[in-house]
Amino acid sequence: MMAGGEIERLIQLLAKLPGLGPRSARRAALAMLKRRDTVMLPLAEAMEAVAAAVLNCSVCGNLDTADPCALCRDSNRDQRIICVVEDVADLWALERSGAFRGRYHVLGGALSAFQGIGPDDLSIDALVARARDAAVSEIILALNATVEGQTTAHFIAEKLAKAGVVVTHLAHGVPMGGELDYLDDGTLTAALRARRAVA
């Protein structure tokens, strides 16, 4: 142990974050400790404010501090196309690429027999209900190129077969096992533009 209890606890909490092992958690903690007024306290206040205000959008499942979320409220976005993603991270990746200007639907994961995740654990019924809206004409399945993601895509495509919408999926170019969040913006944009109807 290099420091007192409170500092050690901060480091242990930081180490729980993705991308931060114990070593980088120490570096992050030290950077904050050295910049208490300009980084640490503003960060603590921002975290407290966001934690108190954050919620899941009741329409699409996105995380925001308002419900419906800013994306669902934006009347400049195309209401005819819904892009289905596994996680908010994938939504953020697509927004970062700037390639998609429609609406989203966050499933909350992918089907997985191994992890015991079934259809009722995902936001699939809500998606089917949204797809039946006459204003919606296309559903893009932007799921990860993993076994779970593709199993989920097939399951949803069958569920949507009678919903009166065109169902498409991202073009290949998303590497097998690839998660959208890790793709560069160009690859993501190309995969979205070259999307194809689900056979």
Shortest distance, position 95 Cβ to Zn ion, whole Å:
12
The strand pairing partners of 83, in sequence order, are: 104, 140
Q: How far is the CB of 89 from Zn ion (least distance, A)?
A: 15
CB of 113 to Zn ion, least distance (A): 29
CA distance linking residue 166 with residue 117, whole number of Å: 26
127 binds Zn ion, rule: CB under 5 A: no
- d(CA 196, CA 177) in angstroms, rounded, equals 19
Asked if residue 69 binds Zn ion (CB under 5 A), the reply is yes
Angle at 179 between CA 130 and CA 14, to 5 degrees: 105
How far does CA 97 lie from the centroid of its chain? Answer: 13
Q: Which is nearer to Zn ion, 90 or 148 (CB)?
A: 90
Binding segment (CB under 5 A) for Zn ion, from list 52-60, 107-115, 116-124, 139-147: 52-60
Phi/psi at 143 (5° precision):
-95, 160
Q: Based on the shown chain and the rule CB under 5 A, indicate whether residue 107 belongs to the binding site for Zn ion.
A: no
Residue 126 binds Zn ion (CB under 5 A): no
Interface residue with Zn ion, options 57, 139, 140, 180 (CB under 5 A): 57
CB of 68 to Zn ion, least distance (A): 5
CB of 62 to Zn ion, least distance (A): 4
Per-residue DSSP letters for 42-92? HHHHHHHHHHHH-EE-TTT--EESSSS-HHHH-TTSEEEEEEEESSHHHHH
Site for Zn ion in 72-91 (CB under 5 A): 72
Nearer to Zn ion, 45 or 67 (CB): 67
Is residue 62 within the footprint of Zn ion (CB under 5 A)?
Answer: yes
The Cβ-side half-sphere exposure at 77, using a 13 Å CA radius, reads 19
Contact by Cβ (8 Å): 171, 194: yes
Least distance in angstroms from the C-beta of 79 to Zn ion: 12
Please give the residue ranges that form the binding site for Zn ion (CB under 5 A).
57, 59-60, 62, 68-69, 72
